[in-house]
């Protein structure tokens, strides 16, 4: 099954999408009630919420099912609302991340801050178009954060109070960790490159865990289990499954950011190299490449003016140094660790099978 097919099982995608469509409509009403000028923010939110794989939502839902939740129970709708809250948080993170990384495209279309900057430019408004676009996109992210909190809170009726509070704790922890992880990421990119490759590698893995692995996989799995009333021991097993799987998921993302097909990933070829992302892939290349190649990485990584030839040379260094093979080996090791941990979770057979399939889709993907 493809990842999209998996998220369609028990209509998870359609049910989450319905909640998000309603949320976007409510936001549009709020914007219009305050000022028609504010409606400029509505379309970027619609666009961001329309896209996405819904894998975080599916992980949350199927973890709930794994731990005893039933699709026939009334509280299934509350779990879907929590899953939608995770997608709203993801939208907020992407709005902010695109500004921080100064990204040009997201899912094959211009990023929100680029679109809003162009609106400023086309209308000949005063001041910097780029600054206007970035400021507006930050506010878009903030609006999605508010919506995420509202949607999570709205799920409480019908759920056990203790289960909801445990899920809330994980939700709050997730939001704090992502913010800290984002800071650690920008700090890493500000440091000298290549002076200490071992430290670069350690920092890259720390950033992956805090910024991506936990909020992409571990926390959705833990939140779903908590909503089903899972014990502390069961939640610990969910973490043992979710963290290595989340790291493997992000490592695959890093490979796709350099070698993925633009038509599939929705991002220009070599975009991560132009943005200068300090990934495990880059850290391994710096450890094993020769002096000339290390110097080329250190001087050209993060240059927005990289030519196609520059991108190809950097790709060649990443391949020739063994960095790509090293990342693939790490992905395989982390996947094995995650699947072993999944085997320790006592739960429903259909839930376990879906979690296994979702885990495979997270790692074996082309976008």
How far is it, in rounded angstroms, from Cα 222 to Cα 232?
A: 10
How far is it, in rounded angstroms, from Cα 160 to Cα 124?
A: 54
What are the structural domains of the chain? Answer: 3-363 (1.10.600.10)
Which residues in 45-72 are b (16+ Cβ under 10 Å) and which e?
Answer: bebbbeebbbbbbbbbbbbbbbbebeee
Give me the pLDDT at residue 271, please: 80
334 and 244 in contact (C-beta within 8 Å)?
Answer: yes
Give me the pLDDT at residue 262, please: 79
User: Token match 């709708």: residue?
Assistant: 77
Give me the pLDDT at residue 3, please: 65
Give me the pLDDT at residue 104, please: 87
Q: 243-282 pLDDT, tens per residue?
A: 999 999 999 999 998 998 877 766 777 788 988 889 999 9
How far is it, in rounded angstroms, from Cα 308 to Cα 253?
A: 21
Give me the pLDDT at residue 2, please: 64
Concatenating the DSSP letter of every residue in 322-342 gives THHHHHHHHHHHHHHHHHHHH
Give me the pLDDT at residue 1, please: 61
Of the candidates 219, 264, 277, 301, the one whose C-alpha atom is nearest the C-alpha of residue 55 is 219
Give the number of C-alpha atoms closer than 13 A to the C-alpha of residue 332, restricted to the C-beta side.
6
Give me the pLDDT at residue 105, please: 86
Of the candidates 23, 50, 41, 19, the one whose C-alpha atom is nearest the C-alpha of residue 140 is 41
How far is it, in rounded angstroms, from Cα 113 to Cα 202?
A: 32
- Low-confidence stretches of the chain (pLDDT < 70) are 1-3, 265-266
Give me the pLDDT at residue 204, please: 94
């Amino acid at each position: 099954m493809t990842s999209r097919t998996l998220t369609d099982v028990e209509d998870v995608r359609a049910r989450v999408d319905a909640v998000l469509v309603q949320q976007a409509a409510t936001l549009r009403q709020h914007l219009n009630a305050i000022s028609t000028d504010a409606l400029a923010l509505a379309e970027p939110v619609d666009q961001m919420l329309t896209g996405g794989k819904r894998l975080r939502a599916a992980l949350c839902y199927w973890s709930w099912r794994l731990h005893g939740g039933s699709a026939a129970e009334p509280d299934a709708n509350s779990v879907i609302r929590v899953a939608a809250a995770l997608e709203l948080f993801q939208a907020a993170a992407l709005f902010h991340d695109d500004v921080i990384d100064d990204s040009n495209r997201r899912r094959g279309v211009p990023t929100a801050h680029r679109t809003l900057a162009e609106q400023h430019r086309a209308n000949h408004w005063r001041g910097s178009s780029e600054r206007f676009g970035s400021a507006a996109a930050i506010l878009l992210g903030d609006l999605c954060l508010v919506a995420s909190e509202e949607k999570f809170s709205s799920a409480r009726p019908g759920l056990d109070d203790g289960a909801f509070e445990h899920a809330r704790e994980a939700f709050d922890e997730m939001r704090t960790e992502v913010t800290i992880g984002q800071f650690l990421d920008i700090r890493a990119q500000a440091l000298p490159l290549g002076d200490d490759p071992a430290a670069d590698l350690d920092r890259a893995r720390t950033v992956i865990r805090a910024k991506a692995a936990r909020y992409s996989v571990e926390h959705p799995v833990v939140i779903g289990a908590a909503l089903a009333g899972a014990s502390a021991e069961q939640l610990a097993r969910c973490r043992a499954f979710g963290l290595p799987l989340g790291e493997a998921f992000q490592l695959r993302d890093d490979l796709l950011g350099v070698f993925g097909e633009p038509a599939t990933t929705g991002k220009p070829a070599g975009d991560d190299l132009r943005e200068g992302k300090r990934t495990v892939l880059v850290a391994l290349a710096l450890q094993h490449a020769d002096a000339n190649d290390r110097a080329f990485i250190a001087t050209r990584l993060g240059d927005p003016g990289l030519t196609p030839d520059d991108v190809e040379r950097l790709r060649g260094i990443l391949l020739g140094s063994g960095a790509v093979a090293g990342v693939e080996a790490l992905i395989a090791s982390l996947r094995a660790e995650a699947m072993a941990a999944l085997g320790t979770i006592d739960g429903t057979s259909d839930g376990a099978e879906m979690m296994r399939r979702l885990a495979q889709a997270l790692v074996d993907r082309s976008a």
